[in-house]
Structure 1
Amino acid sequence: MPRPDRIPPGPGLRRLGVALLCAAALTSVLSACTGAPEAATRQQQPAAAPAVPGAPAAPSVPAKVSYGMPADVSALILPTSGEGTRSTQGLDAFARLAAAWAVHDCARKRGETVPDGPPPMFTRLFSVPDLDYLRAHGFGEAVDVPGAPPRTPSSAQAPAEPGPELRTCLAEGRTAGQELPRVYQALQARWFEELAPLAHDPEVLRAREGFPGCLAAHDVRAEDENAFFALVDARLQAADAQGGRRLGAVYATCMAPVEAVREPLRKQLAERFRAEHRAEIATVVTELPKRVRELEQRYRIRFSVPAL
């Protein structure tokens, strides 16, 4: 189920979400629809990157990641900066990775073939944009989570409709995929609700006033952010990877003044939020590492986060 932090604020951003994140959204439902490598190679097995809808498939490249949870576990669920969201992405993706392996292991035991589907992917948070990552990689580059089961060689091997055995496996995947989010999801949802009013903060609105002029200075014809993302969407639909990278760099440059205002405001909010939710945060900080270790051992996977 999409969370508030995944919902872009305007129609242009919604269109971008269709182009950029549709495969990631499907992953939450179909991340289990993958095949199986040997356990010893799970942590090194990159999966093929999904294509932009209607576009030729992009070449598969291994994800650049770092492994292990941060020292400050609470930062996973209370990101205040773009760089900090990489750990948040890793947390969400790890749950999808566990779900994928739960379905795979169940299907193998029952002699079932799982339908082909998109692999678990890291999903960016647009409410807290990672400008450094966008500057380096641009828009449209989907990053697969390492260690996912390989995709089924042919979806023709799987039944059009899952039978009782496969439905049982899919249910196991959904259960496994919720083990981790149940620990932190309610608290994190409240945190993103706390961040939402920043969109209307006077300082933020003043910083945004320079965005159209910055776009024009970089020869990007878009009168506002919605128009900009409509342009991004068009480039991705046309499979224009170079254009997506260029627009990502322009966006990072033009949004830098806005983030320079928003990031300190987020940190101020985080201090108050931590004080108001001290007991809940302490519970998450205690439980989350234990659950991650349990899932790592059960499915022989590793917690990873995207890296530049």
Structure 2
Amino acid sequence: MPINSPASPRPAAVAAVVVAALLTACSGGADSPGSSSGERDDGAATTVTQAGLSRSLPDDPVRMVLPTTGAETRWTQGLDVFVQQVARSAAVSCASERGVALPEAVPPAFIRFSELPDLDFIARHGTSASAPVPTPAAGPTATRTATPAVQRRCASEGKAAADALRDLYAPLQQEWFGELVSLRRDPAATRALDALPDCLAEYGIEVPDEDGFFAVADTHMQTAAPADLPREGRVLGQAYAACMRPVEAVREPARTRLLSRFRTTHAEELRSLRGALLPALRKASAEHGVSLVFPAP
């Protein structure tokens, strides 16, 4: 399921170890991420709508790289998926030039972050749902599969295309996520998390902590009937979102203060990122036929 426990992250799309440790499988309006509403939805709603997609960029591209809220991570997710698709597109083009095809690959997915839970999204769509990742237009279909040597060469070309983008922001992003980990020791956030089990118990979920919730949610979703998965996921998501809002009410201001200091100490790198990131993304989009899109509730 696409939402993971913060303490035991499952495989994630971002390669850096410190980033992977933060990943879990997940603003204003429906078109752009913004701040959470704080609305408590206690109902076990039976109608589950599919998440949509947005092309709306943030006012500052740095927000794609250094998110401070769960809603802002929608931009981060979109950036990560875009880079993965660029890598695949470059590799496929390499094989196509040689008249061969690459083996099927696992498609990318929008992966949410445990350190920055997108509570509005989770409450609306559940613990396991995410927005669908659009598939880039397919090129000519080859009948022969690439040899292992060609597969390695084309994979290398794909990696180079992705690294040309990641190198612009990944070192700074990894450092920022490392800073976020420090908030786990924040006394106010710890006290807020200590109240989580009592809140979840009001929804009939008896667990000792946040990790326990995700263990129960995983088991529940794995054993539910397929037709019940969307509704069951949303019931769990509503409970989690409602009980985590007091925690995020403490953590979001702490992240904002942390980011303010981070911006001061990394001013030169951020100026460079602002000037380079969007032009590089537009160039890669035109060259590889990949669109930059983001999950949207």
Is residue 227 from structure 1 mapped to residue 212 from structure 2 by the alignment? yes
Paired residue total: 257
Q: Distance in 2 between matches of 1:139 and 1:149?
A: 30
More helix by share: 1
Match of 1:114 in 2: 102
Q: What TM-score do you get using the length of structure 1 for normalisation? A: 0.76
Q: Distance in 1 between matches of 2:102 and 2:224?
A: 29
1:149-188 alignment, distance < 5 Å: 158=145, 162-188=147-173
Is residue 258 from structure 1 mapped to residue 243 from structure 2 by the alignment? no
Is residue 207 from structure 1 mapped to residue 187 from structure 2 by the alignment? no
Contact conserved, 1:69 with 1:303, CA < 8 A, in 2? no
In the superposition, relative to structure 1, how do residues 88 and 134 fare at CA in structure 2: closer, same or farther (>3 Å)?
A: same
Q: Secondary structure of 2:178's match?
A: helix
Q: Distance in 2 between matches of 1:68 and 1:169?
A: 32
Q: Structure 2: give runs of 5+ residues left out of the alignment.
A: 16-48
In the superposition, relative to structure 1, how do residues 218 and 130 fare at CA in structure 2: closer, same or farther (>3 Å)?
A: same
In the superposition, relative to structure 1, how do residues 272 and 67 fare at CA in structure 2: closer, same or farther (>3 Å)?
A: same
Match of 1:287 in 2: 276
Note the C-alpha offset of 1:166: 2.2
Note the C-alpha offset of 1:185: 0.6
Note the C-alpha offset of 1:257: 0.3
Match of 2:181 in 1: 196
Match of 1:92 in 2: 80
In the superposition, relative to structure 1, how do residues 63 and 133 fare at CA in structure 2: closer, same or farther (>3 Å)?
A: closer
Match of 2:125 in 1: 137
Q: Secondary structure of 2:294's match?
A: strand
Q: What TM-score do you get using the length of structure 2 for normalisation? A: 0.79
Give the percent of matched residue pairs that are identical in Structure 1 and Structure 2: 37
Contact conserved, 2:6 with 2:211, CA < 8 A, in 1? no
Q: Distance in 1 between matches of 2:199 and 2:56?
A: 38
1:36-47 alignment, distance < 5 Å: none
Q: Distance in 2 between matches of 1:266 and 1:233?
A: 28
Q: Structure 1: give runs of 5+ residues left out of the alignment.
A: 1-5, 27-60
Match of 2:134 in 1: 146
Q: Distance in 2 between matches of 1:205 and 1:188?
A: 24
Note the C-alpha offset of 1:150: 5.8
Note the C-alpha offset of 1:216: 0.5
In the superposition, relative to structure 1, how do residues 25 and 79 fare at CA in structure 2: closer, same or farther (>3 Å)?
A: closer
Is residue 67 from structure 1 mapped to residue 55 from structure 2 by the alignment? yes
Note the C-alpha offset of 1:236: 3.2
Contact conserved, 1:114 with 1:152, CA < 8 A, in 2? no
Match of 1:248 in 2: 237
1:267 partner letter: T
Q: Secondary structure of 1:121's match?
A: coil
Q: Distance in 2 between matches of 1:62 and 1:169?
A: 35
* Larger deviation, residues 209-218 vs 229-238: 229-238
Contact conserved, 2:77 with 2:111, CA < 8 A, in 1? yes
**What is the root-mean-square deviation of aligned Cα atoms in Å?**
2.7
In the superposition, relative to structure 1, how do residues 196 and 118 fare at CA in structure 2: closer, same or farther (>3 Å)?
A: same
Q: Distance in 2 between matches of 1:151 and 1:211?
A: 50
1:24-39 alignment, distance < 5 Å: 24=13
1:136 partner letter: R
Q: Distance in 2 between matches of 1:248 and 1:199?
A: 22
Is residue 236 from structure 1 mapped to residue 242 from structure 2 by the alignment? no
In the superposition, relative to structure 1, how do residues 74 and 252 fare at CA in structure 2: closer, same or farther (>3 Å)?
A: same
Q: Distance in 1 between matches of 2:139 and 2:129?
A: 19
Contact conserved, 1:68 with 1:303, CA < 8 A, in 2? no
